[in-house]
Amino acid sequence: MGIKIGVLGAGMFAKSFIPLYKVHPEVDKVVLADINTDRLRQVADTFRITETYSSLEDLCRSDVDAIAIFTQRHLHAPQTIQALRAGKHVYCAVPMAHSLEDVQAILDEVKRSGLLYMSGETSYYYPSTIYCRNRFAEGGFGDFVYGEAQYLHDLSHGFYEAFQHSGGADWKKAAGFPPMYYPTHSVSMILSVTGARATQVSCLGYRDRHEDGIYREGANLWDNPFSNETALVRTSDGGMARFNEFRRVGWSGKNCVYLSMFGTKGSYEEHAGSQVWSSLEHGSLQSLDELLHSNDYVNQQSDPDIPLALRQDFESGLSLVHDVDRLPREFEGMPNGHFGSHQFLTDDFVKAVSQHKLPPIHAWNAAKYCALGIIAHESALRGGELLSIPDFGEPSPSWNML
Ligand SMILES: NC(=O)c1ccc[n+]([C@@H]2O[C@H](COP(=O)([O-])OP(=O)(O)OC[C@H]3O[C@@H](n4cnc5c(N)ncnc54)[C@H](O)[C@@H]3O)[C@@H](O)[C@H]2O)c1
């Protein structure tokens, strides 16, 4: 028998996942909840969802096995804790949390209850990350020396519209979210390849000057003055990494998440659209452009709610490094997005719940990705002071991995 999933939040991102949950062979039923009742009705009609709820409380009281959270980024942690306490497995769009206390509270709930938590980090299934993970596992990099990853996303590229979509008159207060509180697109790329954790960080912030006044002390919920933050990190395997999280940046690449990694034997380097492998063994550079190219997923019925600047992200498909054979046949020809990741994230969560196994982006990995950013922002507020990052540990060895 399949599982019953409750999607929380009928916003722009949830609409990319609902059709995938609906056709997954291990899902019996998808229900939907949103406090915005007009939006709830409209999205439920579009996807022919017959069971709906107008609050998280009601959804928690229902008989769903799992709740997939697609609400605004600063709401995730308390909603996750509420859902876990109601006995539901949780999938949550990133980030997991923006305080160490909430990270710990989620881990405590997961450990106490034995329920599953999965973070929906799209970068984990980007072609470049998959390629580097495979190369690293087979020893091609040797020891990890240094990596750099960045998420460059100017507010004018669809973010104003995204924050206004559900933010009401006060939308700017949530839009001033510290960049390093949303670090996982860049951080997960490197940490998911090596499996190490970040132990220390020094971070600098760029004091924003834009006339929209979003990033200022007193203007947002976090008193955050920084629109761009750069962190230098020590990793537990003796390596070093640099992460850029920029929200005010003149950049229009084909992609806004970039990765480069250097090892003692081989390296992967990515610059403005070109991706190469280089190693001591083979003297010359090997172009990876074809291998890592994501097919455009051309959706004839593009969602008009998705800002034009975000369409490419929301509608990009699979590459040659994606292990398509592990996906359910039912996903063939279905929507995909964020460089093929949507289908893998959906499949991981459904299989994890129905087989009761830990998915790759489990709570302990999500904590690693998130804690780095939380401490990095603190360091930026203290002018770059080198700070230690707490270790939230690893899952119990009694868990079976998916
Ligand atoms: N690449 C990625 O990983 C990626 C890309 C896009 C969005 N996201 C994340 O996905 C999340 C959703 O983004 P979005 O653009 O769809 O947001 P959105 O504003 O379009 O939708 C959020 C929805 O959640 C609903 N909601 C809020 N609180 C609720 C509650 N208590 N109960 C029920 N419903 C509630 C709102 O009414 C709204 O309809 C965000 O966290 C965003 O950061 C991630």
Beta strands in 77-213 (DSSP E): 89-93, 117-120, 144-152, 198-207
Ligand 1, atom 1: closest residue by C-alpha: 122
Judge whether residue 188 has pLDDT over 90. yes
Tell me the pLDDT band of 297, cut-offs 50, 70 and 90: low
Q: What pLDDT is recorded for position 152?
A: 95
Domains of the chain (ranges; CATH) run 3-122 (3.40.50.720), 123-321+359-388 (3.30.360.10)
pLDDT for residue 353 = 98
Which residues are CB-neighbours of 169 under 8 A, at least 6 positions away? none
Q: What is the amino acid identity at position 54?
A: S
Three-state secondary-structure class, residue 68: strand
Write out residues with Cβ below 6 Å of ligand 1. Answer: 8-14, 33-36, 39, 55-56, 70-73, 75, 93-94, 122, 162, 165-166, 338
**Counting atoms of ligand 1 from 1, which one is nearest the CA of 15?**
16
| pLDDT, position 310 | 75
20 C-alpha vs ligand 1 centroid, how far in Å? 17
Residues 36-40, mean pLDDT to the nearest whole number: 98
Task: Provide the pLDDT for residue 303.
Answer: 75
Question: Which residue has its alpha carbon closest to ligand 1 atom 27?
Answer: 71
Q: Over 60: is that where the pLDDT of 204 sits?
A: yes
CA of 314 to the centre of ligand 1 (A): 14
Residue 200 pLDDT greater than 70, yes or no: yes
The pLDDT confidence band at residue 284, using thresholds 50, 70 and 90, is: confident
What pLDDT is stored for residue 281 in this prediction? 87
Longest alpha-carbon distance in the chain: 61
pLDDT digits (tens, 9 = 90+) for 65-113: 999 999 999 999 999 999 999 999 999 999 999 999 999 999 999 999 9
CA distances, 57 to each of 63, 111, 186 (Å): 12, 22, 33
Q: Tokens at residue 391, please?
A: 């270790």
Mutation test of ligand 1: which of 8, 12, 13 has the most ligand atoms closer than 8 Å to its C-beta? 13
User: Given pLDDT bands bounded at 50, 70 and 90, which one contains residue 306?
Assistant: confident
Question: How close is the Cα of 290 to the center of ligand 1, in Å?
Answer: 33
pLDDT band, residue 147 (cuts 50/70/90) = very high
Dihedral class, residue 168 (left if φ above 0, else alpha if ψ from -120 to 50, else beta)? left
The mean pLDDT value for 312-336 works out to: 91
Q: Which 3-state string (H, E, C) describes 100-118?
A: HHHHHHHHHHHHHHCCCEE
Q: 3-state DSSP: the chain helix, strand, coil percent, rounded to 5?
A: 35, 25, 40
Confidence of residue 298 (pLDDT cuts 50, 70, 90): low
Confidence of residue 316 (pLDDT cuts 50, 70, 90): confident
Q: What is the pLDDT of residue 14?
A: 97
> pLDDT at position 307, please?
75
Mean pLDDT of the chain: 95
Go through the chain and tell me how many residues it has.
402
